[in-house]
């Protein structure tokens, strides 16, 4: 049986980074990827990069088919570059095959024509997540039912798209396909949009997305789907019916564990069927680690990348970096304009015992928004009344995907609101708005 220092299952964000770092340190590595067409994993092939490219082009008057073509070229280039950056690294063997466990520390690699069992001192599982499709009667018989992956590969713009689920994918695709000109209905079980965000921000997002022509059906489940002459009818929980010519299922993504044959090991799963790890990303088997979406929790590329930092620190560093040190993770929902958040909302800060000062500021008060001719949105800043420390921000408006990182630095470094209020920004730019967002009256 061939023995490596490290086996990595999946070439996603974490896997590729760990493979490079191990090879740099002259470790022998087997990197196993089951689908050569998505070498480099989800982010560059089916997720962040293709969707944000299409979103960009949807806002710059591109025709849908042209945008899909540009997206395809970019994805191909990025995937090839990723492969080239790894292929030929000394000590690194890339396997085009599916990995499955046959014992705690033994992995079988299955290709079309071969089977080989390999072992290693360390095994890292980076198999990502797969779509979670709810059981809806009739759905398997209906054409033009898409996932986030298949819809953006279809070159035909849907005329009337019904989206099931109002999370990240549901909202980003609703906004993007509305910008391209599709008629959009979002069916979601929640009673309100983005219930974990500041209520004022959520209301503003809803208003802006409705102004784009998107219809939301709140508090509804889809029970049955059927198709007649190309018209798809979705029967909802309250007997209502909604019709479209295409359906997107955007009801979450679940850890990809099914084909790993973990029953041959002592690797345990959580109640949510993710691989159970501790804060160092160790599974329940010694020297087997899990990184990225497959370990459950937040599903973001930068979390997978940060997981790689943990592994590299644990294998080659001083072993001090772990999930315990990860906090204030920012995120952006790339609707138009983007919604970004870091740290506390008013409600979550108060739950944690803070007395807070809150400032809401319309984007229209920012000079840059007039230059760009886009005054939509609202910014909210949250500050601890006792200490004056910045606790959080919710930014719904142009460029928020960049601005939010300034607030993250402020929270991480325990800056006071006055640090942002008095910072000299250049002008006229969106970031100077932080001077005003954190210009607060704080009485102690």
Ligand X SMILES: NC(=O)c1ccc[n+]([C@@H]2O[C@H](COP(=O)([O-])OP(=O)(O)OC[C@H]3O[C@@H](n4cnc5c(N)ncnc54)[C@H](O)[C@@H]3O)[C@@H](O)[C@H]2O)c1
Report the interface residues with ligand FAD, using CB under 6 A: 9-14, 32-35, 38, 41-43, 47-48, 51-52, 98-99, 126-128, 148, 169, 253, 256, 259-260, 292-294, 299-302, 304, 334
Tell the burial category of 95 from Cβ atoms under 10 Å away from its Cβ (0-12, 13-18, 19+).
buried
Least distance from C-beta 167 to ligand X, angstroms? 2
N-term to C-term CA, the chain: 69
Residue 257 contacts residue 275 (beta carbons within 8 Å): yes
Q: Per CB under 6 A, does 341 bind ligand X?
A: no
Structure token pair of residue 96: 């085009």
Q: Looking at 40, 128, 166, 330, which residue binds ligand X (CB under 6 A)? A: 166
239 versus 441: smaller Cβ distance to ligand X:
239
Question: Nearer to ligand X by C-beta: 189 or 388?
Answer: 189
Which residue matches tokens 């209301």? 203
Choose, by CB under 6 A, the member of 252, 297, 362, 388 that binds ligand X: 252
Tell me if 129 sits within 8 A of 151, measured CB to CB: no
CB closer to ligand FAD, 304 vs 314: 304
For residue 368, the cross-strand partners are none
Residues 356 and 410: their CA atoms lie apart, in Å, by: 16
Query: In angstroms, what is the minimal distance from the CB of 46 to ligand FAD?
Result: 6
Per-residue binding string, ligand X, 124-143, x by CB under 6 A, is ----------x---------
Which residue's Cβ has the minimum distance to ligand X? 167
Q: Specify the residue, 402 or 439, whose C-beta has the smaller distance to ligand X.
A: 402
Q: How many CA atoms lie within 13 A of 302 on its CB side?
A: 8
For residues 395 and 363, give the distance between their C-alpha atoms in angstroms, rounded to a whole number.
9
Distance of alpha carbon 287 from alpha carbon 136, whole angstroms: 40
292 binds ligand X (CB under 6 A): no
Which DSSP category does 197 fall into?
S
Backbone φ and ψ for 383, nearest 5 degrees, come out as -130, 145
Nearer to ligand FAD, 100 or 368 (CB): 100
Does 167 bind ligand X (CB under 6 A)? Our answer is: yes
DSSP state letter for 136: -
Q: Which of 141, 370, 413, 427 is catalytic?
A: 427
Neighbours of 305 (CB within 10 A): 17
**Using CB distances below 5 to 8 A depending on partner kind, what does residue 99 bind out of ligand X, ligand FAD, none?**
ligand FAD
Is 172 marked as a binding-site residue?
yes
Is 317 annotated as contributing to ligand binding?
no
Q: Do 242 and 228 touch, CB atoms closer than 8 A? A: no
Select from ligand FAD, ligand X, none the partner in contact with residue 166, using the beta carbon and a kind-dependent cut-off of 5 to 8 Å. Answer: ligand X
How far apart CA 106 and CA 99 sit, in angstroms, is 10
- Give me the least distance between CB of 158 and ligand FAD, in Å please: 16
Task: Give the number of residues written for the chain.
Answer: 444
Q: Considering the rule CB under 6 A, would residue 121 count as an interface residue with ligand X? A: no
Kindly state the number of chain residues that form the binding site for ligand X, as judged by CB under 6 A: 24
Question: How many other C-beta atoms are found inside a 10 Å radius of the C-beta of residue 266?
Answer: 12
Q: Looking at beta carbons only, is 97 or 165 nearer to ligand X?
A: 165
Q: Mark whether 427 is an active-site residue.
A: yes
CB atoms within 10 A of CB 359: 17
CB 86, CB 20: distance < 8 Å: yes
Q: Residues at the annotated binding site for FAD?
A: 52, 293
Q: Residues at the annotated binding site?
A: 52, 165-172, 252, 293
Q: Which residues form the catalytic set?
A: 427
Residues lying near ligand X in the complex (CB under 6 A) are found at: 134, 164-170, 172, 188-190, 221-222, 250-253, 299-300, 331-334
């Amino acid at each position: 049986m061939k023995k490596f220092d490290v086996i990595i299952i999946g070439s996603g964000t974490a896997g590729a980074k760990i493979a490079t770092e191990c090879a740099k340190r002259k470790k022998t590595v087997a990197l196993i990827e089951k689908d050569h067409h998505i070498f480099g994993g989800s982010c560059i092939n089916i997720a962040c990069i293709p969707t944000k490219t299409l979103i960009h082009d949807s806002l710059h008057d591109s025709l849908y088919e042209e945008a899909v073509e540009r997206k395809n070229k970019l994805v191909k280039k990025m995937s090839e570059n990723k492969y080239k950056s790894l292929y030929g690294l000394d000590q690194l063997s890339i396997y085009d095959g599916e990995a499955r466990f046959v014992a705690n520390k033994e992995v079988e690699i299955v290709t079309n024509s071969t089977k080989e069992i390999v072992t290693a001192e360390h095994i890292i599982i980076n198999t990502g997540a797969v779509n979670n499709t709810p059981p809806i009667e009739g759905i398997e018989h209906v054409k033009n039912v898409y996932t986030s992956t298949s819809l953006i590969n279809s070159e035909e713009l849907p005329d009337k798209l019904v989206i099931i689920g109002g999370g990240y994918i549901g909202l980003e695709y609703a906004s993007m396909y509305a910008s391209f000109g599709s008629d959009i209905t979002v069916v979601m079980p929640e009673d309100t949009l983005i219930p974990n965000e500041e209520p004022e921000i959520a209301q503003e997002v809803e208003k802006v997305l409705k102004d784009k022509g998107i219809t939301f059906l709140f508090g509804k489940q889809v029970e049955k789907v059927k198709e007649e002459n190309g018209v798809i009818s979705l029967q909802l929980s309250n007997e209502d019916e909604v019709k479209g010519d295409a359906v997107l299922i955007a009801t979450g993504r679940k850890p990809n564990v099914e084909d790993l044959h973990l029953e041959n090991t002592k690797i345990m799963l959580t109640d949510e069927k993710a691989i159970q790890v501790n804060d160092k990303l160790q599974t329940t088997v010694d020297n087997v680690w899990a990184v990225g979406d497959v370990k459950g929790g937040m599903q973001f590329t930068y979390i997978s990348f940060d997981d790689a930092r943990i592994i590299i620190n644990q294998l080659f560093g001083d072993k001090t970096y772990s999930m315990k040190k990860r906090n204030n993770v920012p995120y952006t929902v790339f609707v138009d304009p983007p919604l970004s958040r870091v740290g506390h909302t008013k409600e979550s800060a108060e739950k944690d015992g803070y007395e807070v000062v809150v400032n809401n500021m319309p984007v229209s008060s920012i000079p840059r928004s007039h230059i760009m001719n886009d005054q939509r949105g609202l910014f909210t800043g949250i500050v601890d009344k006792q200490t004056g420390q910045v606790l959080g921000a919710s930014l719904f408006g142009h460029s928020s995907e960049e601005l939010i990182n300034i607030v993250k630095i402020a929270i991480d470094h325990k800056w006071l609101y006055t640090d942002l209020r008095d910072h000299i920004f250049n002008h006229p730019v969106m970031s100077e708005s932080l001077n005003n967002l954190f210009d607060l009256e704080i009485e102690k």
